[in-house]
């Protein structure tokens, strides 16, 4: 059986590829579990400073959850369906959202349902001009289950999110850009190059500072501004004890490019 999530590491970047192209990279239970395993490996790998997540083939990033497999869990009742599908999917997107290394989604085709929810959870996203997004769960009688009812309104606003959630209608990458779901829309052949270029721009800086920014932003979105400012201060305090802050300040004073160690 082929690996459902491929991994390639080069130049400080781990490229993870959802690998079920014959099923439009639909997320079955094995793929969700494998993605979590890959993230566990990458978090502790000192060679990796950023992650790019994309889909195999030319048609889809991910068309969403594996509906036939999900249907079998539904037949066994609410408790089983929630355990198998909802908890697994929410754990996957929560892990991506809070991952301490920047995660960039390269949307190379369809990003429907769970594929769209992964894009919502990731820190950054680059989309092909031929990509298409949708929140189609309502068409099979369910709400989104991987965090889509919570993250999309936070990204795009309540009314725009509700229109997409309640109609299930597909939308363009240009609309995804306007809503804040993606950072850039580029020609199909440029998606991975643009994602790598974005990753390299981040890799110039301290990985500890990057992790602190991700933590402060992710936590702060669910806090009052006063609480968020405390979280921000905590991340700064952690940096004061590191070598990286002293390297950054010394490099600035000496007018040279800093060389960060991640310590």
Q: How many CB atoms lie within 10 A of CB 160?
A: 17
Of 8, 37, 58, 137, the active-site residue reads: 137
CA distance 92 to 148: 13
* Residue 47 burial class via C-beta count within 10 angstroms: exposed 0-12, middle 13-18, buried 19 and up: exposed
Task: Give the chain's mean pLDDT.
Answer: 95
- Residue 69's contacts (CB-CB under 8 Å, 6 or more residues apart) are 28, 29
- pTM (global) more than 0.85: yes
- Average pLDDT (135-141) is 95
pLDDT band at 233 (very low <50, low <70, confident <90, very high): very high
- Average pLDDT (134-145) is 95
Query: Is 239 in contact with 209 (CB distance < 8 Å)?
Result: yes
The pLDDT value recorded for residue 125 is: 98
The pLDDT tens digits for 74-92 are 889 999 989 998 999 999 9
114: closest CA among 128, 133, 140? 133
Strand 5-10, strand 13-18: pairing: antiparallel
pLDDT band at 2 (very low <50, low <70, confident <90, very high): confident
The pLDDT tens digits for 166-211 are 999 999 999 999 999 999 999 999 999 999 999 999 999 999 999 9
151: closest CA among 172, 110, 180, 109? 180
Is residue 117 annotated as a catalytic residue, yes or no? Answer: yes
The pLDDT tens digits for 45-85 are 999 999 999 999 999 999 999 999 989 988 899 999 899 98
* Residue 210 burial class via C-beta count within 10 angstroms: exposed 0-12, middle 13-18, buried 19 and up: buried
pLDDT band at 150 (very low <50, low <70, confident <90, very high): very high
Of 8, 40, 43, 117, the active-site residue reads: 117
Angle at 195 between CA 189 and CA 198, to 5 degrees: 135
The pLDDT value recorded for residue 151 is: 96
The pLDDT value recorded for residue 1 is: 63
**Percent of the chain surpassing pLDDT 70:** 100
CA distance 189 to 227: 43
């Amino acid at each position: 059986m082929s690996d459902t999530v491929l991994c390639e590491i080069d130049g400080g970047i781990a490229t993870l590829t959802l690998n079920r192209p014959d099923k439009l990279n639909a997320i079955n239970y094995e793929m969700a579990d494998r993605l979590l395993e890959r993230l566990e490996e990458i978090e502790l790998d000192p060679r990796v400073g950023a992650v790019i997540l994309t889909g195999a083939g030319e048609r889809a990033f991910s068309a969403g959850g594996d509906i036939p497999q999900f249907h079998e869990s539904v037949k066994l009742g609410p408790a089983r369906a929630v355990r198998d599908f909802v908890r697994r999917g929410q754990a996957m997107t929560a892990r991506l959202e809070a991952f301490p290394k920047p995660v960039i989604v390269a949307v190379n085709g369809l990003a429907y349902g769970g594929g769209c929810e992964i894009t919502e959870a990731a820190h950054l996203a680059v989309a092909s001009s031929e990509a298409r997004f949708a929140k189609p769960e309502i068409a099979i009688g369910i709400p989104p289950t991987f965090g889509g009812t919570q993250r999309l309104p936070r990204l795009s606003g309540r009314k725009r999110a509700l229109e997409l959630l309640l109609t299930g209608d597909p939308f363009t990458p240009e609309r995804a850009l306007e809503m804040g779901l993606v950072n850039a829309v580029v020609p199909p052949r440029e998606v991975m190059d643009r994602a790598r270029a974005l990753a390299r721009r981040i890799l110039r800086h301290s990985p500890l500072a990057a992790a602190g920014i991700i933590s402060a932003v992710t936590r702060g979105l669910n806090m009052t501004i006063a609480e968020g400012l405390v979280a921000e201060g905590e991340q700064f305090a952690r940096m004061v004890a590191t070598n990286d802050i002293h390297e950054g300040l010394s490099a600035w004073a000496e007018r040279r490019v800093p060389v960060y160690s991640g310590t």
